[in-house]
Amino acid sequence: MCVEAIPPPSSALTRRGVLAGAAALAGTVAAAGQATAAGADRGAASGRRTPGATARVGHLVIHGGTLLDPATGEVTEDAVVVIEDGTVRAAGRRGGVTVPQGFEVLDAHGRWILPGLVDAHIHLSTAAEARDAVRKGATSARSGSASFYQDIAVRELARHSPALAPRLKAAGVFVTPNLGDTVLADPDLTPLARLKDGVRSAEALRRVVDVNLARGADVIKTRVNERAGLPEQDPLAQVYSREQLAEIVAAARRGGKGVLCHSYSEQGCHDAVMAGIRSLEHGAFVGERTLREMRRRGTYFTPTLTAIAGLAESSDPILAERGRTYLPILKRAVIAAHELGVPLAAGTDSSGGAVDPIGGEVELMHSAGLSPLDAIRTATTGAARLLGLTRTAGRLTRGYAGDALLLSGDPLADLSVLKRPVGVVRAGVVAA
């Protein structure tokens, strides 16, 4: 794609703004080189592309494919999607849609067209991971934290170079008892290194949330239980009480933000939900009383089945055993949640260089018992609502973002096609 002039720094230039801006610009320069190289390779897109006379970035017509609207389940054959300046201007059956002249055209004959997917839990710390997430179908995402605020720079990268990163809700650093090296992520976090017990007092918890808010986080990430992915930790051990979680939620709310909470044990899940979190992450042992409370409050469930299925494949015997034990329990929790009416969001929990396709999480949601359409909704309309993108992501209809996937077959018949999109459009730009 064509990279426009680098936007000037924000007029409200603060020390934090300078730091975030420097990171964003560093990412842009590296990524812009890759984008130019990729743009020259016109064979990268799967569909046949006809450049438009005006060839304006963000203007694109996708035509000839079968369009699925996850909101209604409606399927439109021989469809046309007109994207102008990165936003859908019109979508529907060919003949019923006015096709403008001079736009680049992407031929989707024989393909299915879906809105770009949403990964509601992913860790993006490098430009390569951000680009990979888009190529694998996640055109919008919510960060599950980044050690040094890289996710905030990724969010800015996505704003000016949408083909290079998903539209992102950034979480900043994890609110966790032991920050480790993350105390170096911001000078205002360094005093926390002195605390013998780690980040546990109301004041320390507020400090981490406040630094995140000052750095521009969109959401706050915390935990109630230890980690499943480390063999020496017991994921059922609780690290924060309901009162401590309520402190984090209150601090986030003062900044107008919601909290996502890593949870495993039923007591931990219950305390997190009662403390007022916005979404429960992992949640393998969540019980019915907590699910009913989630239904009542509208708390989301992001089970990250991909991550637990990944544990089962681990070469570490403790982790492999944990994954094999947890996966069927988590699937039962997912279908119980769905049947009770708890909103579900798809998230891969990808981190550390390996980006899992969000389509794989949709497939796992289906294997837990959701219908194909309901499974697709967890990565489109459902997750979009959780991210506050109700009128932006999850559908391809007038006014929504011009983010689309081209698939090799009917996802309602075989969801595995979602894992390997044959084309990805991000804000009207062919990204893969």
Name the site residues for Zn ion (rule: CB under 5 A).
144, 349
Type of residue at 152: I
Provide, rounded to whole angstroms, the least separation between the CB of residue 347 and Zn ion: 8
Q: CB nearest Zn ion: which residue? A: 144
Return the number of the residue (233 or 390) whose C-beta is nearest Zn ion.
Answer: 233
CB of 352 to Zn ion, least distance (A): 10
CB of 273 to Zn ion, least distance (A): 18
In the complex with Zn ion, the residue whose CB is nearer, 349 or 361, is 349
Q: Which is nearer to Zn ion, 65 or 144 (CB)?
A: 144
Residues facing residue 118 across a β-bridge: 140
Phi, psi of 124, rounded to the nearest 5 degrees:
-115, 110
Quick one: 148 or 369, whose CB is closer to Zn ion? 148
**CA distance linking residue 236 with residue 264, whole number of Å:** 6
Residue 349 or 363: the one with the smaller Cβ distance to Zn ion is 349
Of 106 and 175, CB closest to Zn ion: 175
Minimal distance in Å, beta carbon 108 to Zn ion? 34
Residue 334 CB, nearest distance to Zn ion (Å)? Answer: 17
Instruction: Give the nearest distance from C-beta 428 to Zn ion in angstroms.
Output: 30
